[in-house]
């Protein structure tokens, strides 16, 4: 196997739902993004209509690209089979209930691995790519506790705290989901290919909203972070600077009216005024102006929980398991 190849997992492939196939094809129409596709879904459009008819509803034009978008959809289906994956939309029962509650959820989910994890008790663990040594210890202890309580750990396969979270979860015989910002035929960063393979080997899940063969774009990393939050009951912010990428997922979880769990830091890191804990410390110290700059109107102190010591773990878990049902949830009557 090539050093940059991603192994093919042996998970059973589910045949693509006919409505999901139509959404997949329609997603390749020029100018049609997830918001237009969701408007089609939520308007109770009859998806027994042909792709041509659905295309006309979306674009108000008789499209000459129907053959092309079918070809692209068929290519994705073929690649999905090649990689033993699954493609889901809200028409599939496997599509996560928690994603149905948010207004910017992905229309399509490309999955490789254990798709049962999509609807478990998921907890996103995020942080800087440059953790302090004390931060690494904190991350590992957090992962050990929550995996022992049967939580599925969600992260983004990035360097630093993401990788620590995935690895420690696997070391503790837990289950983990890696949300990627590109097609599932590749891995970024390449140095984490072995980690991605270990996730598949150990009954975890690789997930993306992007079709196979989609390269990485910087903007996709931000979009990836919202999915980590959307899949989860809460986000644990292990360590971040005030300008860190981890704040995208932190902002998303507050926007979704779910819990942001902020980890307090070691005395030595606080004393050393470490840059990559500054976001945590601003929240813990309730520095209003900095909090406003980081979160704006999304910040709600009632949704912020703190991990100061081991005595807080149980209380945080109880909060996470308390009902916080969104009024935006929708259901689809499938034929």
Residue-level pLDDT at 6: 59
Lookup: tokens for 246: 């981890």
Q: Which tens digits make up the pLDDT trace of 264-295?
A: 999 999 999 999 999 999 999 999 999 999 99
Reported in sequence order, the residue ranges of the chain that DSSP labels E, i.e. its strands, are: 86-88, 109-113, 122-126, 152-155, 176-179, 205-208, 234-237, 259-263, 304-307
CB 100 within 8 A of CB 76: no
- Cα dist from 248 to 121, 138, 221, 307, whole Å: 21, 21, 9, 20
Domain limits, the chain? 18-82, 115-320
CA 284 to chain centre: 25
Q: Which tens digits make up the pLDDT trace of 52-84?
A: 999 999 998 876 789 999 999 999 999 999 999
Nearest to 245 by CA among 123, 127, 106: 127
For the four alpha carbons of 277, 280, 286 and 292, in that order, the dihedral sign comes to positive
CA distance 216 to 231: 21
Q: Hey, how many other C-beta atoms are within 10 angstroms of the C-beta on 28?
A: 17
CA distance 125 to 167: 12
pLDDT (tens place) for every residue of the chain, 335 residues total: 333 455 554 445 579 999 999 999 999 999 999 999 999 998 878 999 999 999 999 998 876 789 999 999 999 999 999 999 999 999 999 999 999 999 999 999 999 999 999 999 999 999 999 999 999 999 999 999 999 999 999 999 999 999 999 999 999 999 999 999 999 999 999 999 999 999 999 999 999 999 999 999 999 999 999 999 999 999 999 999 999 999 999 999 999 999 999 999 999 999 999 999 999 999 999 999 999 999 999 999 999 999 999 899 999 999 999 876 555 555 554 43
**How many helices (H) does the chain have, and how many strands (E)?**
13, 9
Lookup: tokens for 298: 């999304």
CATH T-level assignment (fold) for domain 115-320 = Rossmann fold (3.40.50)
Residue-level pLDDT at 155: 98
CB 169 within 8 A of CB 205: no
Lookup: tokens for 119: 């609807």
CA distance 193 to 200: 11
Residues facing 113 on adjacent strands: 205
Helix (H, G, I), strand (E, B), or coil: what is residue 33? coil
CA distance 162 to 206: 14
Lookup: tokens for 45: 């459009």
CA distance 99 to 87: 15
**107 secondary structure, DSSP code:** S
**Residue with token string 């774009």:** 217
Order of all β-strands in the sheet with 176-179: 86-88, 109-113, 205-208, 176-179, 152-155, 122-126, 234-237, 259-263, 304-307
CB 282 within 8 A of CB 273: no
Task: Name the pTM for this structure.
Answer: 0.93
Cα atoms found within 13 Å of the Cα of residue 116, Cβ hemisphere only? 7
Helix runs in 172-213, H state only: 193-201
**Residue with token string 């704006």:** 296
């Amino acid at each position: 196997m090539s050093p940059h190849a991603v192994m093919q997992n042996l998970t059973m492939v589910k045949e693509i739902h006919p409505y999901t196939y139509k959404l997949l094809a329609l997603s390749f129409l020029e100018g049609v993004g997830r918001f237009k596709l969701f408007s089609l879904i939520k308007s109770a459009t009859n998806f027994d209509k042909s792709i041509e008819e659905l295309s006309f509803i979306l674009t108000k034009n008789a499209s000459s690209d129907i053959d092309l978008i079918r070809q692209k959809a068929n290519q994705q289906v073929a690649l999905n089979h090649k990689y033993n994956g699954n493609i889901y939309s809200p028409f599939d029962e496997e599509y996560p209930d928690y994603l149905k509650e948010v207004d910017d959820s992905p229309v399509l989910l490309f999955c490789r691995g254990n798709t049962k994890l999509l609807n478990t008790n998921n907890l996103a663990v995020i942080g800087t790519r440059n953790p302090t040594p004390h931060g690494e210890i904190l991350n590992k202890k957090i992962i050990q506790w929550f995996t022992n309580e049967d939580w599925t750990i969600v992260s983004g396969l990035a360097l630093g705290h993401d990788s620590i979270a995935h690895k420690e979860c696997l070391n503790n015989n837990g289950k983990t989901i890696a949300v990627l910002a590109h097609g599932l035929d590749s891995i970024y960063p390449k140095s984490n290919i072995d980690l991605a393979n270990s996730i598949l080997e150990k009954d975890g899940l690789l997930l993306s909203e992007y079709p196979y063969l989609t390269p990485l774009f910087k903007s996709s990393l931000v979009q990836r972070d919202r999915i980590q939050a959307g899949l989860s009951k809460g986000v644990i912010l292990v360590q971040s600077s005030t300008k860190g990428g981890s704040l995208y997922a932190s902002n998303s979880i507050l926007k979704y009216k779910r819990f942001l769990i902020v980890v307090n830091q070691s005395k030595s890191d606080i004393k050393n005024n470490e840059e990559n804990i500054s976001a945590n410390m601003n929240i813990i110290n309730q520095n209003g102006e900095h909090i406003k700059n980081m979160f704006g109107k999304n910040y709600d102190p009632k949704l912020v929980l703190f991990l100061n010591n081991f005595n807080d773990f149980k209380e945080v878990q109880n909060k996470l398991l308390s009902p916080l049902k969104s009024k935006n949830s929708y259901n689809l009557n499938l034929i």
